[in-house]
Structure 1
């Protein structure tokens, strides 16, 4: 796929020296022959990117023009039990898009462009071994009726990663051939190259959706909501299982009317085949105090929606960060109201997970 220059125009590649020992590393370097190459000891240790508050002013430029290449060290699977049964080792970290609520920059620093890991064979082998030890899914559950599901895109957006290299193609092919497992990832981008990957029902794509007028503020550099909705039928026809993530659900004056209109748009757009297999996740916004400060440096308008201490309360995260979520008690009522609105217009859309 020709890279959309407004999204990705790689001019600088930071890379661990070891990446040239891997075919995927050499392939990606060859794809960007004019990019400056800067060796670094670790994809986690790039002072000019990570933790450099001065990068806030160049947030979008860095995401568009910078790529990091490394070797994935940890290959363990983490139990999940919500969106997936297991979280697979990430083949990427960071993103070319710039959603204002994204949690990844909280861990990796201010700029957080795409980091791709080139030892894809090791990642695929680890997943295959792990799935082989699981045996059949003991019984149907809210995650899947038949397969163990592995989230393969926890820290990035694989639709965009696939514009740079073939890791995503390899992962789709991997799950196609594992008898008891399925891959899954969420995306805010429409990359129609994925339609040719032949998933044969073994990869679940979850298109993240929210009202368009809010997405224009907080879903920065992503595919328009209407384009994501329009892609669902095509991805189902291509052999993907396609679900939707209503995420994050942001509360503001008029949110109910906006979501009701979105449900109507989805319902009016989808084929019967897409509706028959459609399920969803619902995730209310969790924000972060440190990210709030970062956003004030590059996109303060988003914080008018995301930072609402009048209806939010603090919660210390497992990693020690100060998060904000909608106040308990009220959150449950708002979530119930959201689900009622969904059921009114899209009763066929089963809620797999709501939080």
Structure 2
């Protein structure tokens, strides 16, 4: 619990007026009775909170102490086909952690704390209706051999959200009762409260991993890598399907040796049962020009790893941002090398998706 308080200790809540009309909204407000409450027209536009590209001290303070509550407007499922079949409507946006490469803060301001959506019953019913319409999965694919998979945490970390309310518990229960679908989310936190949620194999949790010495620089306010690895078997025994995300893969002098050491650590830590069901996603780093400029002001050491124009090329994102990714010709070769190292050290770990 102390570790959770270090990550979040809510003293101020911005909320839309309608939040009090929802049971989940009233539940969250009651959970933090001493917190200052500030009514705002929209969770998307809070001038005193969003647009802050200032010092990281302010970001961390805001992420730890501030919560935003709103009502999710769009409830549509988005086709994916990579990590999941569909992206479900998010029950949250933003995060209490501060990974320096994260794309989410740029949409709401770099200090973007957790926003929780309180119309969770409507979100759950939208997912259920959509899954019913799909019928059985026609054939096995890279996402799953038998079930439709819905990504639940595209814009946040559900392990941290679960420290604030019961929405994640409700989502796990929802998929337990949908016969043809499972939920999935990636996490960089280890919240052992989730071990009591009884997923019965219908929720996939993906622990994001990278070499420890790099994570210490770029994965700010997250659970240590050894703690994430050590949790794999605990979550498997609790009824989760447990996969790993090797994400982001950052290239630098000596990266191969560091990843080999990580693969050896995983192999030497997890059980045979965990190995038998383990699958992975591999996601090469994509960086952003605007985020680079902000990071230079507070974490230039991280930018030495992330900003490598000598081996990166520009890519205009769908949202109009100036992103950088590893040069296309070389990226394929480096990705192939990464897969070869993984196959050498962890031959049982199937790669579901690589990008």
- What TM-score bracket applies, with the shorter chain setting the length? over 0.9
CA distance in 2, matches of 1:109, 1:86: 27
1:256 corresponds in structure 2 to: 256
Per-residue deviation at 1:52?
3.0
CA distance in 2, matches of 1:4, 1:193: 11
Alignment of 1:293-312 (within 5 A): 293-312=293-312
Does the 8 Å contact 2:279/2:352 carry over to 1?
Answer: yes
Does the 8 Å contact 1:287/1:306 carry over to 2?
Answer: yes
CA distance in 2, matches of 1:13, 1:97: 18
2:124 corresponds in structure 1 to: 124
SS of aligned partner of 1:282: strand
Question: TM-score if structure 2 supplies the norm length?
Answer: 0.98
Runs of 4+ in 1 over 4 A off after TM superposition: none
SS of aligned partner of 2:67: strand
Does the 8 Å contact 2:49/2:111 carry over to 1?
Answer: yes
Question: TM-score if structure 1 supplies the norm length?
Answer: 0.98
Alignment of 1:125-164 (within 5 A): 125-164=125-164
Q: Which runs of 5+ in 2 are unaligned?
A: none
SS of aligned partner of 2:302: helix
Q: 1:57 to 1:7 in 2, by over 3 A?
A: closer
- 1:234-261 C-alpha deviation (Å, 9 max, x unpaired): 1000100000000000000110000000
2:219 corresponds in structure 1 to: 219
Q: Which runs of 5+ in 1 are unaligned?
A: none
Please, what is the CA RMSD of the aligned residues? 1.0
1:171 corresponds in structure 2 to: 171
2:68 corresponds in structure 1 to: 68
2:313 corresponds in structure 1 to: 313
Per-residue deviation at 1:294?
1.9
- 1:37-92 C-alpha deviation (Å, 9 max, x unpaired): 11100000101121133465511111111100001110000000000000000000
Does the 8 Å contact 1:288/1:324 carry over to 2?
Answer: yes
1:21 corresponds in structure 2 to: 21
Does the 8 Å contact 2:55/2:298 carry over to 1?
Answer: no
CA distance in 2, matches of 1:247, 1:230: 18
Does the 8 Å contact 1:55/1:110 carry over to 2?
Answer: no
Q: 1:271 to 1:57 in 2, by over 3 A?
A: closer
Aligned residues: 355
1:94 corresponds in structure 2 to: 94
